[in-house]
Amino acid sequence: MGPGEVYEIEVDLSVTSNTFLPGHAFRLEIASSNFPDHDRNMNTGGDNVHETEYVQAVNTIHHKAEHPSRLILPIVPRGKAD
């Protein structure tokens, strides 16, 4: 990815599910890394295993008309899940 470029990214959460009851809330967090919970990402596009120098990532979420963002949460009615 290049600096200043806009990319569409789709994240498939696969078989993730949750029940939201009245009063519940959720939060969506966007990050390029979550070390040590997940493998490190040096943000170089190179070899994350052997590299020792990292590049700080700057993430921008666009949400204007020319670059809209969306979070799609499918609803499965009770008793309909297989």
pTM higher than the cut 0.85? no
Residue 34: band (very low, low, confident or very high) from pLDDT cuts 50, 70, 90 = confident
The pLDDT assigned to 82 comes to 57
Encode pLDDT of 39-77 as tens digits. Answer: 888 888 888 888 889 888 888 888 899 999 888 888 888
Domain ranges, ordered by start, for the chain: 25-76
SS3 annotation, the chain: CCCCCCCCCCCCCCCCCCCCCCCCCCCCCCCCCCCCCCCCCCCCCCCCCCCCCCCCCCCCCCCECCECCCCCCCCCCCCCCC
Amino acid at 61: I
Amino acid at 34: N
Percent with pLDDT over 70 in the chain: 96
The pLDDT assigned to 42 comes to 86
The pLDDT assigned to 65 comes to 93
